[in-house]
């Protein structure tokens, strides 16, 4: 099965329909916003019509009429202002709530995404979709969206009013203005889609360049790779600059609308004067038309100015929705089968094939059974597939074909939470989170207390080591565990695994940075913790390899017993 891959510029059609699950929860609030907007637009249009009434009354010498309509105008302006303010406030409020839902769902999707999906994408791109794109949507919701919605409703209601007042003049206005405006906006939209997509991709590339290089500064300095990294960054920056230029070029197309505005108002004045001359139009209605046509063109301009932001927001939303969707697609059947995942059992690999995209097969037709309580060592040359096998056995990867079963349950169909509780993998490179040593150790299901942490350390013979740290178990590990040595970070990860007390424990060179005596004691303790616990150790060190009861040699996947006798 092909791996799910994010695209730089995902499908943008029907993006709102795809976002409907997030909008649906707020549909009542959205309906309220629409009602408020319509009332606000109605009042804004009524103001224009009332000015026409006042002019008409003044032309007829009707002083009472002028006074009455002026009062009505004042009331409309105040009420309209309050309603419009409320409508804009509610749009932002509902928009923020919808975005909070999207952010939550996207974070959850990434947290549950299969390891292979995360590995296959640049960290900076994922980060940008989870933060930059959603923040950009927030800025759109708080800034442009209210203008966009108000402009659309006022435009629609104004056109309706004009049709009622004089349909011939309205048709003239629409025929003269709309087709040209539609062509201008259409050309802008065609150019803006790729321009905004490329801009988002280029921004993501710059973010990715930092996300990858900042944690690797130490290596870049020692290997003299800083200049090369600056070269990569310069290329990403040039791309961003070019994308920014394209965006500006696309937006400049909208300036043609200003010319159109002048033409539309001029046309209405000439046509209105002719209609008044012919006795087909009153001066009041002509005034309303001139005001309204200016308003229509102004609102259309507002709309067009917002279209750029709306297009950008559409791309951002499409990128976030694609992330949510693909994380789900890459996780085809989480938690479907296995209502009860047994506490202990044999691990069985049957006909397992696995390879990375565009790479040669790493494992081919591998079959193997490890009984509960067994101690298997996986050894072999660099790049022979040991870690890959460890990740498959831990359920972090899924085989391209074949199955990995634990206690008769296919890991691909089991509840991932239960798999994580039963099968734990400790990698060689341990990354800790900022906090104390004890807090990092206790990060396992069930959140064990201080006594449990101390008991686990005692069993592993690590009490004296923990006491030797500057603040004992309360010693801060620093960012990503940087204040501990590589071996100390491994000890924290091993204590964490011991606390989790899994049925299957996989140590992927997890004691490689620990001194040989401590490593030997830890491995023996972990192996002897329970006669039902399966211990799988991936190792290069001869003493670690010698401690296994079974040995699997990679890449041939040759299985032998402790005495080197081949197993069937």
Ligand X SMILES: Nc1ncnc2c1ncn2[C@@H]1O[C@H](COP(=O)(O)OP(=O)(O)OP(=O)(O)O)[C@@H](O)[C@H]1O
Cis before residue 555, ω within 30 degrees of 0? yes
Instruction: Assess 387 for contact with ligand X (CB under 6 A).
Output: yes
Residues near 133 by beta carbon (within 8 Å), at least 6 away in sequence: 200, 316, 317, 319, 320
Q: Phi and psi of 374, rounded to 5°?
A: -75, 160
Alpha helices by DSSP H, listed for 254-353, are 256-277, 283-329
Choose, by CB under 6 A, the member of 121, 316, 386, 398 that binds ligand X: 386
Instruction: Assess 4 for contact with ligand X (CB under 6 A).
Output: no
Residues near 250 by beta carbon (within 8 Å), at least 6 away in sequence: 188, 191, 192, 195, 308
Residues 319-378 that bind ligand X (CB under 6 A): 356, 359, 362
- In terms of CB distance, is 197 or 385 closer to ligand X? 385
Structure tokens at 436: 């104390």
- In terms of CB distance, is 359 or 470 closer to ligand X? 359
Residues 239-278 that bind ligand X (CB under 6 A): none
For residue 41, the tally of other CB atoms under 10 A from its CB is: 26
Interface region with ligand X, contact rule CB under 6 A, candidates 74-82, 271-279, 367-375, 385-393: 385-393
Instruction: Assess 544 for contact with ligand X (CB under 6 A).
Output: no
Instruction: Assess 385 for contact with ligand X (CB under 6 A).
Output: yes
Least separation in angstroms between residue 235's CB and ligand X is 23
Residues 25-84 that bind ligand X (CB under 6 A): none
- In terms of CB distance, is 198 or 509 closer to ligand X? 509
Beta strands in 356-472 (DSSP E): 361-370, 375-380, 401-406, 409-410, 423-426
SS3 (DSSP) at 558: strand
- In terms of CB distance, is 196 or 354 closer to ligand X? 354
Least separation in angstroms between residue 489's CB and ligand X is 17
String marking each residue 517-536 x if it binds ligand X according to CB under 6 A: --------------------
Strands 558-561, 550-554: parallel, antiparallel or unpaired by DSSP?
A: antiparallel
Least separation in angstroms between residue 383's CB and ligand X is 4
Instruction: Assess 446 for contact with ligand X (CB under 6 A).
Output: no
Give the single-character DSSP code of 348.
E
- In terms of CB distance, is 150 or 384 closer to ligand X? 384
Least separation in angstroms between residue 382's CB and ligand X is 4
Cα distances (Å, whole numbers) of residue 190 to 77, 187, 439, 461, 463 = 39, 5, 53, 67, 67
- In terms of CB distance, is 345 or 390 closer to ligand X? 390
Choose, by CB under 6 A, the member of 150, 388, 518, 544 that binds ligand X: 388
Beta bridge partners of 536: 376, 506
Least separation in angstroms between residue 92's CB and ligand X is 42
CA–CA dist 209, 127 (Å, integer): 12
- In terms of CB distance, is 225 or 555 closer to ligand X? 555
CA–CA dist 289, 266 (Å, integer): 12
Instruction: Assess 382 for contact with ligand X (CB under 6 A).
Output: yes
Up-side HSE of residue 358: CA atoms within 13 Å toward CB?
A: 1
Instruction: Assess 383 for contact with ligand X (CB under 6 A).
Output: yes
String marking each residue 93-132 x if it binds ligand X according to CB under 6 A: --------------------------x-------------
CA–CA dist 492, 483 (Å, integer): 13
- In terms of CB distance, is 90 or 386 closer to ligand X? 386
For residue 122, the tally of other CB atoms under 10 A from its CB is: 16
Give the single-character DSSP code of 215.
G
- In terms of CB distance, is 331 or 530 closer to ligand X? 331
Least separation in angstroms between residue 511's CB and ligand X is 14
By CB under 6 A, how many residues form the interface with ligand X?
A: 12
Three-state SS string over 279-297 comes to CCCCHHHHHHHHHHHHHHH
- Interface residues with ligand X (CB under 6 A)? 119, 356, 359, 362, 380, 382-388
């Amino acid at each position: 099965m092909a791996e799910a891959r994010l695209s730089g510029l995902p499908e943008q059609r029907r993006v709102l329909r795809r976002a409907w699950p997030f909008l649906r929860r707020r549909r009542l609030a959205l309906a309220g916003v629409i009602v408020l907007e319509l009332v606000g637009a109605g009042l804004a249009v009524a103001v224009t019509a009332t000015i026409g009434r006042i002019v008409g009354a003044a032309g007829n010498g009707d002083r009472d009429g002028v006074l009455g309509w002026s009062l009505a105008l004042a009331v409309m302006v105040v009420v309209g202002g309050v309603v419009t303010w409320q409508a804009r406030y509610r749009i932002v409020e509902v928009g923020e709530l919808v975005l909070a839902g999207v952010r939550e769902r996207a974070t959850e999707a990434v947290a549950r995404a299969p390891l292979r999906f995360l590995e296959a994408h640049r960290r900076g791109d994922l980060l940008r979709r989870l933060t930059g794109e959603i923040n950009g949507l927030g800025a759109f919701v708080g800034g442009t969206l209210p203008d966009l919605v108000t402009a659309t409703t006022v435009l629609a209601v104004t056109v309706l009013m004009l049709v009622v007042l004089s349909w011939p003049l309205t048709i003239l206005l629409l025929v003269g203005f709309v087709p040209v405006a539609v062509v201008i906006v259409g050309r802008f939209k065609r150019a803006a889609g790729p321009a905004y997509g490329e801009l988002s991709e280029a921004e993501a590339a710059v973010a990715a360049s930092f996300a990858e290089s900042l944690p690797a500064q130490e290596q870049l300095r020692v290997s003299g790779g800083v200049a090369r990294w600056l070269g990569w960054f310069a290329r990403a920056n040039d791309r961003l600059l070019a994308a920014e230029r394209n965006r500006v070029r696309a937006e400049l197309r909208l300036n043609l609308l200003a010319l159109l505005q002048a033409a539309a108002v001029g046309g209405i004045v000439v046509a209105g004067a002719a209609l008044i001359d012919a006795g087909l139009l009153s001066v009041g209605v002509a005034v309303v038309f001139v005001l309204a046509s200016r308003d229509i063109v102004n609102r259309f301009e507002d709309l067009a100015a917002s279209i750029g932001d709306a297009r950008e927001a559409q791309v951002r939303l499409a990128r976030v929705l694609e992330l949510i969707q693909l994380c789900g697609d890459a996780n085809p059947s989480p938690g479907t089968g296995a209502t009860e995942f047994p506490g202990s059992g044999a691990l069985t690999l049957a006909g397992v094939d696995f390879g990375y995209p565009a790479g040669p097969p790493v494992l081919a037709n591998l079959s193997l059974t490890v009984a509960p309580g067994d101690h298997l060592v996986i050894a072999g040359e660099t790049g022979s597939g040991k870690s890959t096998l460890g990740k498959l056995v831990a359920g972090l990867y899924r085989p391209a074909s074949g199955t990995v079963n634990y206690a008769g349950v296919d890991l691909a169909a089991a509840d991932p939470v239960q798999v994580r509780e039963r099968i734990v993998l400790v990698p060689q490179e341990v990354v800790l989170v900022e906090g104390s040593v004890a807090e990092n150790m206790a990060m396992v299901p069930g959140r064990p207390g201080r006594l449990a942490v101390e008991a686990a350390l005692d069993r592993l013979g690590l009490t004296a080591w923990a006491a030797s740290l500057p603040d004992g178990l309360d010693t801060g590990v620093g960012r990503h565990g940087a204040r501990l040595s590589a071996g100390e970070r491994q000890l924290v990860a091993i204590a964490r695994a011991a606390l989790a007390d899994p049925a299957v424990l996989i140590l992927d060179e997890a004691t490689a940075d620990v001194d040989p005596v401590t490593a030997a004691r830890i491995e023996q303790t972990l192996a002897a913790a329970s006669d039902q616990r399966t211990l799988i150790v991936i190792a290069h060190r001869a003493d670690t390899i010698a401690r296994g009861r079974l040995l699997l040699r990679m890449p041939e996947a040759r299985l032998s017993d402790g005495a080197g006798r081949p197993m069937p």
